[in-house]
Amino acid sequence: MKNRPIRREPFTPISYLFVSLLLLATGMAPGASTPAVEDSGFVKAPPITLKGASIAAQKRTIVLMTGANVVYNLNVRIGEDPRKSGKELPEPFLNSEFPRLGDSTAASTGWSIGVQGRKGSWYSSGTFGFLQGSRSLTKGLPKSLLTGTSANEAWVQGIWDSPDGDITATFVGKEDDDRLFMRVHRDFVGKNFFLRLNALPGHVKAESALPEERWVSTASKNFQQSAGQPAEERIPAGDNWMVIFDKNTNKYRGVCAVLFDPEEVDAGFVWLGTMVAIRLSFPEDSTDARLILWHMDEHYKTPEEAYDNLKDHQAQLLEELRKMKFPAPNR
């Protein structure tokens, strides 16, 4: 069997915060001539429900307007710790840490990419996070959240505190370009530092009668969701890109992909359940990693087309990524 995707079937601080940073693509840009950034500021959001408790919430959406067919947003959602309200709360909630997102099972910050009127293929409740071993380093809001533009780019940059030093994530959208460029910088070195990416491609059970069957395809291997308990598998050494999709249908949430510089990542791991988790390890003495992220609606690119695009252009894409000039961390 050839190694290609399987055939597709016809901010005001709050003392205690519940945080989700998600990147949603809102679809066709309105023909913007130059990149721009739109910021909603904090506005009222639907309540967050956690372990039976309803939490008043606010959200802030920052849009990278680049004229591309995918428009990337940074969406920050926060909520007050309901234990401060004096209301009676369920026992499981009282015995849990707040916020819960950010542990080893889900990143507390994340980005989700989609298309106007559709849900994205990146996990909207936490698409990226930084881990020290299995411990999250990104609980709470970033201490700094900045935006900017240049002649042909728009960008968002967040800086998080960690016990060992600052961690900076910078995201850049280019004019008329459907890709999102990402740079992670840490102010410290050491072992067991990971970037985690979470995806929810294709569909979920509530959206389609078709079963979920997640696949991740790299240059040399296909990973397939199993019927049993998911297990993390190692990405083959030398493989530096992957396409993440569902075998049965991708019309609800689309397909996503990622490419990284293999000189900046010394190991990669993939875990396939309903959600797909990618874990990328930094070398002990490395402070930086650069990536390219994609969302592709099924009507825009099928899994086969996404795979062929990365396979045929991987050298060119890597060269472009290495030459990319990211904004320096602003403190």
User: 171-216: per-residue pLDDT in tens?
Assistant: 999 998 989 999 999 999 999 999 999 888 877 777 787 888 899 9
| Alpha-carbon gap, residue 244 to 227, rounded angstroms | 18
Backbone angles phi, psi at 65, to 5 degrees: -90, 105
Q: What is the pLDDT of residue 11?
A: 30
pLDDT: which is higher, 65 or 116? 65
Q: Which residues have a Cβ under 8 Å from the Cβ of 30 and sit 6 or more positions away?
A: none
Cβ neighbours around 151 below 10 Å, total: 7
Phi, psi for 236 (deg, rounded to 5): -55, 140
Residue 27: left (phi > 0), alpha (psi -120 to 50), or beta? left
Q: Please give the Cα distance from 253 to 63 (Å, whole number).
A: 20
State the Cα angle at 103 between 97 and 106, rounded to 5°.
120
Q: How confident is the model at residue 167, as a pLDDT? A: 93
Tokens of 111: 């980005």
At 254 the pLDDT is 80
Tokens representing 145 are: 């959240």
Quote helix, strand, coil % in the chain, to nearest 5.
10, 40, 50
User: What is residue 283's predicted lDDT score, i.e. its pLDDT?
Assistant: 95
Q: How far is the C-alpha of 99 from the C-alpha of 20, rounded, in Å?
A: 10
Name the residue among 3, 5, 10, 22 with its Cα closest to residue 199: 22
Q: Which two tokens stand for residue 13?
A: 């601080």
Between 97 and 296, where is the model more confident?
296
Class of domain 20-99+106-323: mainly beta
In angstroms, the CA 319 to CA 274 distance is 33
Other Cβ atoms within 10 Å of 5 Cβ, number: 20
Distance CA 178, CA 67 (A): 9
For the chain, give every domain's residue range. Answer: 20-99+106-323
pLDDT confidence of residue 57: 72
Give pLDDT tens digits for 240-266.
Answer: 999 999 888 877 778 899 999 999 999
Note the pTM of the prediction, 2 decimals. 0.82
Instruction: Please report the pLDDT score of residue 13 as a whole number.
Output: 32
When the pLDDT of each residue in the chain is averaged and rounded to a whole number, the result is 77
Q: Are 143 and 161 in contact (CB under 8 A)?
A: yes
Handedness of CA 140, 147, 259, 211 (dihedral sign): positive
